[in-house]
Amino acid sequence: MKSPKPSSGTKSSSNRKVEPKSSAAEGLRELFVDSLKDIIYAERALLKSLPKMAKNATEPKLVQAIEEHVAVTEGQVARLDRVFEILGESNRGKKCDAIEGLIKEGEGIMEETQIGPVRDAGIIAASQKIEHYEIATYGTLVAFAQTLGEEEAAQLLSETLAEEKEADVILTESAYNSINFDAADQAENEEE
């Protein structure tokens, strides 16, 4: 039995081997430092976008939670600066495409929702996507630091990981305790 012939003779780019850039990390330490540069860029970008989210939120507890997270994020940046210092590396960030996309998505949600509970629910959804990205990133960074024997860096990064998990819980509680229900009630009232 003959195997089927390819339909067009050209290979899809999705199944090709990706060639690394000349600056690509060759070892775990380089990947670790590169990932740190990515997350410090992300945290600094969040320091610029969080106040906009707070200004667009209406539920007082949500506004307070976002404003408090600004202070937490400032501490996280300081902690990352300390990690770079421990490693003897520059704390210069590297553009983080993931956070850029998540921030842009959050801005889109705000543009596409009316001010009030529905927008608040959208802000929570966008914020949780960001928190989940940060939780995944910090979890990986802690594992890299531990593997590399960078125990002090691992401890500092673990503190930030715990803060990000706590922020996610706060957002979940805000959404489930009132905001999502208020948004659902608003939709029902508009239909009547």
pLDDT, tens only, 155-176:
999 999 999 999 999 888 877 6
Helices (H) and strands (E) in the chain, counts: 6, 0
**How far from 6 is each of 9, 12, 16, 141, CA to CA, in Å?**
6, 11, 15, 42
Q: Is residue 16 assigned to a domain?
A: no
Q: Is residue 148 assigned to a domain?
A: yes
* Domains of the chain: total: 1
What pLDDT is recorded for position 49?
A: 95
Q: Is residue 178 assigned to a domain?
A: yes
pTM of the model: 0.83
Q: Is residue 163 assigned to a domain?
A: yes
- Give the structural domain span for 81: 27-191
Task: State the Cα–Cα distance between residues 142 and 32, nearest whole angstrom.
Answer: 10
Domain holding 129: CATH number? 1.20.1260.10
What pLDDT is recorded for position 189?
A: 58
Q: Could you list the beta-strand ranges (E) of the chain.
A: none
42 neighbors 134 (Cβ within 8 angstroms):
yes
Residues lower than pLDDT 70 in the chain: 1-13, 22-25, 176-178, 180, 186-192
What pLDDT is recorded for position 14?
A: 72
Q: Is residue 1 assigned to a domain?
A: no
Q: Is residue 19 assigned to a domain?
A: no
Q: Is residue 20 assigned to a domain?
A: no
Q: Is residue 11 assigned to a domain?
A: no
